[in-house]
Amino acid sequence: MNRDFIGALLQLNAEKGVPKEILIETLEQAIESAYRRNADAPENVVVKVDPDSGQISVYREYEVVATSEEIEDDQLQMLVAEAQKVDPATGVGAKVRVPENVTQAQLGRIAAQTAGQVYRQRLREAERDVVFQQYASREGEIMTGVVHRTTESAVILDMGKGVEAVLAVSEQLPGEHYRIGQHLKAYVLEVRRTTRGPVIVASRTHRGFLRRLMEMEIPEIYNGTVVIRGIAREAGSRSKVAVESRQQGVDAKGAAVGQRGSRIQAIVAELNGEKVDVVLWHEDPAQYVAEALSPAEVLNVRIDEEHKIANVVVPERQLSLAIGKEGQNARLAAKLTGWRIDIRSDAGVAAAAGGDESRTPAEAPADAEAKT
Q: What is the CATH number of the domain that holds 368?
A: 3.30.300.20
Angle (CA) 16 139 218, round 5°: 110
161 with 211, same domain: the answer is no
Catalogue the long-range contacts made by 317-325 (C-beta closer than 8 Å, 24 or more residues apart).
318/345, 319/343, 319/345, 319/360, 321/295, 321/296, 322/293, 322/296, 322/298, 322/362, 323/362
297 with 323, same domain: the answer is yes
Last residue of a domain, one of 281, 311, 335: 281
CA distance 230 to 279: 10
Say how many C-beta atoms besides its own lie within 10 A of residue 65's C-beta.
17
Residue 82 lies in a domain: yes
18 with 112, same domain: the answer is yes
3-state secondary structure 36-84: HHHHCCCCCEEEEECCCCCCEEEEEEEEEECCHHHCCCCCCEEEHHHHH
pLDDT tens, N- to C-terminus, the chain (372 residues):
555 666 666 666 666 667 778 778 877 888 888 777 766 677 788 888 887 777 778 888 999 998 888 888 888 889 989 889 888 888 898 999 888 877 666 666 665 665 566 667 777 777 788 888 888 899 999 999 999 999 999 999 999 888 999 999 999 999 899 999 999 999 999 999 888 888 999 999 999 999 999 999 999 999 999 999 999 999 999 999 999 999 999 999 999 999 989 999 999 999 999 999 999 999 999 999 999 999 999 999 999 999 999 999 999 999 999 999 999 999 999 999 999 999 999 887 777 766 554 444 444 444 434 444
Last residue of a domain, one of 281, 315, 331: 281
pLDDT tens for 151-166 read 999 999 999 888 999 9
| CATH code of 74's domain | 3.30.1480.10
**pLDDT value for 60:** 87
What's the number of domains the chain is made of? 4
Residue 138 lies in a domain: no
**pLDDT value for 116:** 63
Residue 106 lies in a domain: yes
Last residue of a domain, one of 253, 281, 309: 281
Residue 27 lies in a domain: yes
Determine the length of the chain: 372
23 with 66, same domain: the answer is yes
Interacting residues of 349 by C-beta distance below 8 A, sequence separation 6+? 313
150 with 76, same domain: the answer is no
Residue 240 lies in a domain: yes
196 with 215, same domain: the answer is no
33 with 129, same domain: the answer is yes
Radius of gyration of the chain (CA): 33
299 with 371, same domain: the answer is yes
Instruction: With H, G, I as helix, E, B as strand and everything else as coil, classify residue 133.
Output: helix
**pLDDT value for 317:** 93
106 with 189, same domain: the answer is no
159 with 249, same domain: the answer is no
Q: What is the pTM of this model?
A: 0.70
129 with 243, same domain: the answer is no
Residue 168 lies in a domain: yes
CA distance 9 to 2: 11
Q: Kindly list the strands in the beta sheet with 300-304, ordered across the sheet, starting from the edge strand earlier in the chain.
A: 300-304, 309-314, 340-345
Residue 166 lies in a domain: yes
Which residue range forms the structural domain that includes residue 57? 3-133
33 with 127, same domain: the answer is yes
Q: Report the candidate in 129, 170, 161 with the shortest Cα–Cα distance to residue 18.
A: 129
| CATH code of 183's domain | 2.40.50.140
**pLDDT value for 246:** 94
**Beta-sheet pairing, 340-345 with 309-314:** parallel
Q: Are 295 and 269 in contact (CB under 8 A)?
A: no
List residues bridging with 278 in a β-sheet. Answer: 241
Residue 139 lies in a domain: no
CA distance 4 to 7: 5
